[in-house]
Structure 1
């Protein structure tokens, strides 16, 4: 009898151990839950503390009203209401009354990138008109990109796999890419046809030390501007492979839902010229969706619908809305991303390209939109057919495979910018590592 009880106890004990989180098979639902907990990490009290800087007597009723309007982003996780990590700052970007309160207290000023672009845009426009070509004003940069995995995030001796962003070599306005060095002697550059441009390395974790990967390269980025006129845009040849591919739906963030079809039809009603259709879409998004800090794209089911529901979006979110509305309207468009490399203002950034028959592919930065500093019509719509000189293009699409293949879902399942890291035990999510870029501007 004792032996039987011992066997039963042992079976129960082993079964319990095998169901510990680290022994469970990978589950996207569990992974998504952890990602949401990372993004939605604030209590109501913490968010109120931020709001009180501008609205000292904020009430519970106001909080509920902002939540209903989606100006204050929150969700219930594990039975607890949790707020987005940037819910407070976003409130004063999204809600017009709150925005006015903050501006009255602090005033307005151009951002770092806007200050650079205020000088660069007229430089690009002038050069295009003078030189009679669309790609001008080159800026050469030497970049060291470093990704650091936290100490003991991976058990000692285990192999860590890492993909770093690398400038594309197949883009006309991005030239003379020169590899200089990598932290590991063995590395793999992705083939040119890959939509995400990467430099892959691996190394083994060491007890008590961070695992560091780095790369150094040089490249030249140019500004581009097309002085678009409706009469220069020809009707599309709808039988081409290009037209069919780039006017199609694309899982899972370019979906032609009834809501988006109706919106596209409303925005372009009565217009047949593709450029003027795109201009209506560009202006409407610019006027209705202020920039706000974004939760991780991997936690959002459909990004364009999310933008409409929440009345705001960051660069990639409004770009995907623009692309979707263009495709529904019969205008070929695709996603492009990497970094804005403006001096003292570099950051992750996404934008788009659209194709106009008779002109070709042209850049569109929906997030930069209509510049606050625009002094004339050329500058006002510069980013519909133009882009500044300060970019690093890494991606020409979203959510595509990495090379070599990644075993676990990426931290950035949509975009690819900061890098990706994993080991045999799973993906390493953002809280487990950091990234940094040192930029030497060689001709600025």
Structure 2
């Protein structure tokens, strides 16, 4: 097993020091996005005049400004430079793509989808552009686009049997072996590549973690790291692989029972901390709208478990799944979700966490992979704490999809429970890697598929080849 060094816990970065135009953006700068752009720059960005807006950020940084505004300007300048990568399909091209499957589709129908929030868009160089995967997002709700081919039907029988068995037996357990690969094919021979691949973390859901094989030079973060990784630094290697095995055990509790007894407490997690009830800017923010929404949802409800359930009910019944751009492009994620009622898995989780914290229910982030027998992919969910139960789980994304499918039993299952088809790598939102990234990460908030840098420059997704393969999964 090629494991050489174990790093200590990573510390939190602090935005300090003199401000100038030569300062490069850091991952910590994204904490200050809610400072907001000066109005004249915000108007340029909203109109899609991105080059002018970025130049205006640079001029203001050169002139000097307070460190909080400087951090916001650096983060905004950086993400505006990446905006066109996400919103890469102009309006005319988007209509043409739809017409290849749906010849009678009209421009008015496209405008109607935009007006109803069914297609996410931004102005880029003054032109309305949509997400590159906008068609996939539309297919999720075939009734809205009857001329498009719907998503292929999923074979859910194996999953449903597993969930039923978990409920009947009180738990489900799997031993899972995964292989993760990250490649940086365009790095030059003279350049230094740094790479971070996610690893299973020690937590209530999983244990017996083994690193079976790794590219030589791997440095393994502590099992308790908030974003656990294998790390490499090399002037010669351009491909990095790690194979690991762990045991996932998902207990079951009926969180809908009238009296969830103390004897049904799950796990041995530590007690909540003040951070589990606090804001974490810019996305876990207690905005006036979210405060009012939370107050209305839990009015007259005293028991924490019932408060969490009321929030879960609202989120899973009123928010619809939509594909999203890179989270670096999003503002005030929880507040925006509550207003737009659109989300993907991480946005569902952040919205639930924020509303719970406002309502006095401790809540945390958890993320990594969903590991089914026929599919492995990134996924996010939440944890929440009540005195009756200790820490439980809430997967609002799966709950919402169950509601969409008319499966109330599955919707109820994911309040209080997950399943053993998971790999937990991250136990905090916007946690630092180990060692800290030397360039701005493609995703400054989470790490599910891996990050890399070349000579201190963080790489975009298109500059990396990343994959996760299921080697083996067996019931225990």
Fold conserved (TM > 0.5)?
yes
Alpha-carbon displacement from aligned partner over 1:304-359 (angstroms, at most 9, x marks no partner): 12323433111001110011111111111011000000111211000010001031
2:386 corresponds in structure 1 to 356
Q: In the alignment, is residue 174 of structure 1 matched against residue 243 of structure 2?
A: no
User: CA separation in 2, counterparts of 1:89 and 1:442?
Assistant: 29
Aligned runs of 1:216-227 on 2, under 5 Å? 216-227=243-254
Q: In the alignment, is residue 204 of structure 1 matched against residue 241 of structure 2?
A: no
2:434 corresponds in structure 1 to 403
User: CA separation in 1, counterparts of 2:435 and 2:280?
Assistant: 23
Cα deviation, residue 159, structure 1: 1.0
Q: In the alignment, is residue 140 of structure 1 matched against residue 175 of structure 2?
A: yes
Unaligned runs of 5+ in 1: 1-18, 20-24, 129-135, 235-239
Query: CA 1:86/1:107 → structure 2, altered by over 3 Å: closer, same or farther?
Result: closer
2:354 corresponds in structure 1 to 324
Q: In the alignment, is residue 83 of structure 1 matched against residue 130 of structure 2?
A: yes
User: CA separation in 1, counterparts of 2:424 and 2:459?
Assistant: 24
Query: CA 1:104/1:276 → structure 2, altered by over 3 Å: closer, same or farther?
Result: farther
User: CA separation in 2, counterparts of 1:105 and 1:162?
Assistant: 40
Q: In the alignment, is residue 125 of structure 1 matched against residue 184 of structure 2?
A: no
- 8 Å contact 2:370–2:423 — kept in the other structure? yes
SS in 2 for 1:400: coil
Q: In the alignment, is residue 264 of structure 1 matched against residue 294 of structure 2?
A: yes
Query: CA 1:411/1:101 → structure 2, altered by over 3 Å: closer, same or farther?
Result: closer
Aligned alpha-carbon RMSD (Å): 2.7
User: CA separation in 1, counterparts of 2:273 and 2:106?
Assistant: 53
1:111 corresponds in structure 2 to 154
1:232 corresponds in structure 2 to 260
2:18 corresponds in structure 1 to none
Aligned runs of 1:277-292 on 2, under 5 Å? 277-292=307-322
- 8 Å contact 1:116–1:342 — kept in the other structure? no
> Structure 1-normalised TM-score?
0.82
User: CA separation in 1, counterparts of 2:81 and 2:463?
Assistant: 13
Q: Which residue of the other structure, out of 397, 410, 415, is the alignment partner of 1:384?
A: 415
Q: Runs of 4+ in structure 1 displaced over 6 angstroms? A: 373-376
Q: In the alignment, is residue 337 of structure 1 matched against residue 354 of structure 2?
A: no
> Structure 2-normalised TM-score?
0.77
Query: CA 1:232/1:213 → structure 2, altered by over 3 Å: closer, same or farther?
Result: same
Q: In the alignment, is residue 58 of structure 1 matched against residue 85 of structure 2?
A: no
User: CA separation in 1, counterparts of 2:130 and 2:411?
Assistant: 36
Cα deviation, residue 276, structure 1: 1.7
SS in 1 for 2:321: coil
1:420 corresponds in structure 2 to 451
SS in 1 for 2:195: strand
- 8 Å contact 1:336–1:352 — kept in the other structure? yes
2:197 corresponds in structure 1 to 164
Query: CA 1:82/1:197 → structure 2, altered by over 3 Å: closer, same or farther?
Result: same
Cα deviation, residue 193, structure 1: 3.5
